[in-house]
């Protein structure tokens, strides 16, 4: 039986994640209110600006890698698994289901696609990155949520910008954010033992590639890219890095 103090402890070590969720909701709500007052041309320019920033940030994350072959192998194997498991399609169906619950069956295809785009894009941006992992580990181990507090500020402004252009679907990105960061916080001790600098750098490099896919496919709309299907690469990369370190092939 779980004792009351144990339940309290679990809530306490997720303080940073709950703060992050609140920031996304507040920022997204402000974005929805402001977005209705902005002309379409301005909203398109805002999305383009977000796309360019995401592109640049993705490149900076990729440059942290120590061995490009790890990133390449992780992305390719992750893509195979993602397509096999149809992760993107599953998330899109989940987004469509949520859109139906929120806006009803009367909403048109354009409204549904905008909702799904906002949900998918913001979800991936908010969970891909070293701050989500390191901040959650720090929060889970020590209760220090300072790093997630910084991420919360960034995500709050990001949600504001996304929601002003992509709509209410952005608010529902709190669901994957809560699950992802909360799980890491609850498993912090186990995660910390393998989260070395090299592992985090290689994982960040793969995350950077996924962000590039989001920027090109969703925000800049240069070419359709099923970025969510690369998510398994975020798990494969640290596993490969740990294996190679154990074999002494990397330090």
Please say if the pLDDT value at position 38 is more than 50.
yes
Q: Cβ of 7: how many Cβ atoms within 10 Å? A: 10
For the cut 60, the answer to whether the pLDDT of residue 115 exceeds it is yes
Give me the pLDDT at residue 9, please: 47
Confidence band of 2 (pLDDT split at 50, 70, 90):
very low
Decide: 54 and 207 in contact? Cβ < 8 Å: no
The pTM of the full predicted model, rounded to 2 decimals, is: 0.85
7 vs 149, more confident: 149
pLDDT in tens, 42-93: 888 888 888 898 899 889 999 988 899 999 999 999 999 999 999 999 999 9
How much is the pLDDT for 6? Answer: 44
Mean pLDDT, the chain, as a whole number? 87
Do residues 234 and 210 lie in contact, with contact meaning Cβ atoms separated by under 8 Å?
yes
- Give the whole-angstrom CA distance, residue 163 versus residue 169: 8
Residue 45, token pair as written in the block: 């320019």
Percent share of the chain, pLDDT over 90: 51
Q: With 60 as the cut, is the pLDDT of residue 187 above it? A: yes
**pLDDT for residue 238 is more than 50:** yes
Share of the chain above pLDDT 70, in %: 92
Average pLDDT over residues 172-200: 88
Q: Above 50 in pLDDT, residue 240? A: yes
pLDDT of 107: 61
Task: Name, in order, each residue with C-beta under 8 angstroms of 18's C-beta and a sequence gap of 6 or more.
Answer: 11, 178
Residues 20-25, mean pLDDT to the nearest whole number: 96
Q: What is the structure's pLDDT at 71?
A: 95
Q: Are 140 and 88 in contact (CB under 8 A)?
A: no
Q: Say whether pLDDT at 120 is over 70.
A: yes
> How would residue 110 be classed by pLDDT, with cut points 50, 70 and 90?
confident
Residue 8 or residue 168, greater confidence: 168
Question: Crossing angle of helices 109-127/15-35, nearest 10°?
Answer: 140
Q: Which pLDDT belongs to residue 3?
A: 44
Asked which of 10-19, 110-119, 225-234 is least confident by mean pLDDT, the reply is 10-19
């Amino acid at each position: 039986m779980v004792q009351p103090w144990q339940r309290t402890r679990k809530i306490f070590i997720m303080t940073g994640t709950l703060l992050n969720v609140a920031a996304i909701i507040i920022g997204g709500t402000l974005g929805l209110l402001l977005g209705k007052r902005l002309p379409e041309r301005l909203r398109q320019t805002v999305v383009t600006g977000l796309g360019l920033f995401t592109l640049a940030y993705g490149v900076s994350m990729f440059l942290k890698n120590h061995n490009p072959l790890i990133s390449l192998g992780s992305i390719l194997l992750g893509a195979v698994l993602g397509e096999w498991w149809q992760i993107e399609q599953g998330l899109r169906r989940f987004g469509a289901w949520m859109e139906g619950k929120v806006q009803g069956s009367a909403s048109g295809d354009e409204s549904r696609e905008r909702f799904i785009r906002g949900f998918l894009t913001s979800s991936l941006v908010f969970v891909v990155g070293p701050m989500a992992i390191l901040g959650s580990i720090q929060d889970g181990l020590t209760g220090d949520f300072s790093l997630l507090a910084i991420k919360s500020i960034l995500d709050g402004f990001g949600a504001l910008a996304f929601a002003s252009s992509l709509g209410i679907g952005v608010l529902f990105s709190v669901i994957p954010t809560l699950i992802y960061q909360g799980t890491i916080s609850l498993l912090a001790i186990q995660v910390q033992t393998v989260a070395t600098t090299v592992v985090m750098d290689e994982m960040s490099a793969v995350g950077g590639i996924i962000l590039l896919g989001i920027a090109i496919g969703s925000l800049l709309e240069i070419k359709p890219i099923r970025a969510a299907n690369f998510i398994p690469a975020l798990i494969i990369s640290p596993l490969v890095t740990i294996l190679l370190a154990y074999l002494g092939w990397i330090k």
